[in-house]
Amino acid sequence: MCHRCCRIFAEGGNYKGEMRALYIGRFQPYHLGHHAVIKEIASKADEVIIVIGSAQRSHELENPFTAGERYLMISKSLRDNGISNFYIVPILDVNWNAVWVSHVESLMPPVDVVFTNNPLIARLFKERGYEVQAPLLFNRKEYSGSEIRRRMLNNESWEVLVPKAVAEVIKETNGISRMKTLARSDTE
């Protein structure tokens, strides 16, 4: 028999109650794919815990934005949509898969269900007894952190792939200029 959370989400049911859901990402940057999934989870769960993974990483081509910048991107975008039933928890890497779930547990509120499309994260949480669900992917070809970072470096249109608040945070923090600096080497 499935857990209560599994039944409710599978049936597309709507409820408010005890259910706390976990969503994990690096959010480099937060984009419209993440946003669609979190809006959906927030409309069904009582609370959404959003873990910003690899929180210590920034100023790298694959991870250009700081945890604080990613925090702003997520919180402003959700608030712009009138969503307030979320908590954001930045979490550092431990580079030790067998203890990673305990590490996350030590830093976040207890949760009933984990939403992820990442096979390793799903596996690690399932092995610890969690209900894990894979959200639908939205326009994954374009709503993708890698694709957005590629466009940023190549002066292609990326703003259309992120919530308005994300484009504002990136502009305020000179994010594109930072990425272009990261792409340069000292031999140029």
The residue among 27 and 158 lying less far from ligand ATP, judged by its C-beta, is: 27
The residue among 16 and 36 lying less far from ligand ATP, judged by its C-beta, is: 36
Establish if 66 lies at the interface with ligand ATP (CB under 6 A).
no
Establish if 135 lies at the interface with ligand ATP (CB under 6 A).
yes
Q: Which of 65, 71, 100, 143 binds ligand ATP (CB under 6 A)?
A: 143
CB of 34 to ligand ATP, least distance (A): 5
List Cβ<8 Å contacts ≥24 apart for 86-90.
Answer: 86/38, 86/42, 86/47, 86/48, 86/49, 86/50, 87/47, 87/48, 87/49, 87/50, 88/50, 88/51, 88/52, 89/49, 89/50, 89/51, 89/52, 90/51, 90/52, 90/55
Placement of tokens 């259309």 in the chain: 160
The residue among 16 and 180 lying less far from ligand ATP, judged by its C-beta, is: 180
Which parts of 112-131 interact with ligand ATP (CB under 6 A)? 116-118
Give backbone dihedrals phi and psi of 120, rounded to 5 degrees, phi first: -70, -45
The three-class DSSP label of residue 184 is: coil
Q: Which of 10, 61, 99, 137 binds ligand ATP (CB under 6 A)?
A: 137
Residues that bind ligand ATP (CB under 6 A): 25-28, 33-34, 37, 116-118, 135, 137-140, 143-146
